[in-house]
Chains A and B, each alone.
Chain A
Amino acid sequence: EAGVAQSPRYKIIEKRQSVAFWCNPISGHATLYWYQQILGQGPKLLIQFQNNGVVDDSQLPKDRFSAERLKGVDSTLKIQPAKLEDSAVYLCASSPTGGRNQPQHFGDGTRLSIL
């Protein structure tokens, strides 16, 4: 089966600019996660979708970050405007139903650098 697809692989922007990341989960996976992984740290959950609904966005900085999964398949994460501290790898993951027993399947991530 095809894995989780993410694009772009790398992105360099200046602070205050906007940027968007795209993720296509494994076919049939209802649950989609976006993580922020700052260098030297573990992934931090930004938002979790169940189909096209938001399950958890408690750690999403909503003043600048937004995410959508309109048709319950692929998803877009946007940052506007970007700050220096947003430099990180943004990981997308999916699982079949989001059950606690299910491992997550990760994409390659997008490395974002803010100048």
Chain B
Amino acid sequence: AQTVTQSQPEMSVQEAETVTLSCTYDTSESDYYLFWYKQPPSRQMILVIRQEAYKQQNATENRFSVNFQKAAKSFSLKISDSQLGDAAMYFCAYSGTYKYIFGTGTRLKVLA
């Protein structure tokens, strides 16, 4: 069975600094997608970034980028130039043949 693990319940970062959120997963599938979602205090979950397992190139969306290590089954999110609006819960998610699985989340605090 597939699993998704986020080992950092909470992280803090100074405004304008860079922070990396960790995610590991376990699967026997070769074709899958990985996502990072952001859930601000208002609760609506929104997509941050998506990575296809077959693509070796790491996905990038403006200040957000991932470090995808397929062999290690690791999928970390790097946020550059952190802003106050980045404060939220961040969830890593796995999408495979039969399941869409979320990790337990990392709460990111941004310090002014």
Contacts and interface: CB of A to CB of B under 8 A. Distances in A.
B105 A56 contact: no
Q: How large, as a class, is the contact surface on chain A?
A: 20 to 34
B105 A41 contact: yes
Nearest to B94: A100
Given A100-B32, A101-B52, A106 B45 contact: yes
Interface residues of B, number: 27
A89 interface: yes
Given A56-B98, A100-B97, A101-B33, A89 B43 contact: yes
Given A42-B102, A45-B100, 15 more contacts: A33-B100, A41-B105, A42-B4, A42-B6, A42-B104, A45-B99, A91-B43, A93-B45, A100-B97, A101-B50, A103-B35, A104-B45, A106-B44, A106-B45, A111-B43
